[in-house]
Structure 1
Amino acid sequence: MPSLTVLGVDPGLVATGYGLIEPAPGGVLVLASGVVATARDLALDARVQLIYDGVDRLLAEHAPAVLVLEDLYTEYRFPRTALLMAHARGVICLAARQRNVAVLPLAPAEVKRAVAANGAASKEQMQRCVQRMLGLRDLPTPSHVADALALALTGFSRLGGRIQ
């Protein structure tokens, strides 16, 4: 199979997690993972600029085949959260578009079902499942990194990649 490098991104205004994977003999290799961090006291426009710049750097450096992005969701009690998250998702989509990288949106519950076999899995369950699936020595932390790696794994699988 040709190389299918996949970048998973868990958007957040304070911490945007990312995880970059590609096929390797016997499984999947983590090429990079981490967080694009901003500060709570920064203005919204400054925060989204930092997110855009961080994701754009990753796209320029690694040229993934696809960017898997957590789909927007909200609880009815917190509509403002969804509106704020839309800003982060928007600049991530823009960075991908400008680098000609396809975006695959996935719902959080779909990713949780694919990785933990439970659409309501806790953050800790997701971290442990990602650690096991990728053969990582340490638990992926913070949880935003585990979520981004889970997005990448699910996208990889949906696009025909095999995780052994």
Structure 2
Amino acid sequence: DDIDTSNTPDYVQGAARILYFLVHQRYVLSPRGLDTVRRRFLYKAEVDPIFGKCPGLGCNGMPLLPYGASNDYNPSGSQDSRAKRYCASCEQVFYHWDSKVDGCAWGNSFCHLFLMEFYDELFSSWRSAAHVPPTVKSIFGFPLHSSATVASKFQL
């Protein structure tokens, strides 16, 4: 049966929503969470990518990844705090017009960590002709060095 939340105070429901977003962010950054997103991504990548396709002409329909500008919940609910989409080809961040999810649900590290782990498997077939200034790649707030993707390929 469904749980009756009509007697639950609004502040409790709001706190539960924030907690869910933050737990989701932690989960998708874990190895198991990354693999779950990879499998969902592969399932629909060719026909109808789960997070949409890049609108850039030079990106040839590159599948997008979710991106949050901040790891912290923004109670204002403004357009800037909502989840966006990131293109690995042109390295641009796009607003997703119907997104009602706060960007903290994905955080600003997910898409770059996902690309470090699975770029060759998922994205190597797409090539970009676009020449747009790239978004600064970072994981946990630290900018990535250009050799970081090369170093992550080696087994320790």
Q: Which has the larger radius of gyration?
A: 2
Does 1 or 2 have the higher relative contact order (CA < 8 Å, sep 6+)?
Answer: 1
Same fold (TM over 0.5): no
TM-score after normalising by structure 1: 0.24
Would you tell me which structure has more helix in proportion to its own residues? 1
Would you tell me which structure has more strand in proportion to its own residues? 1
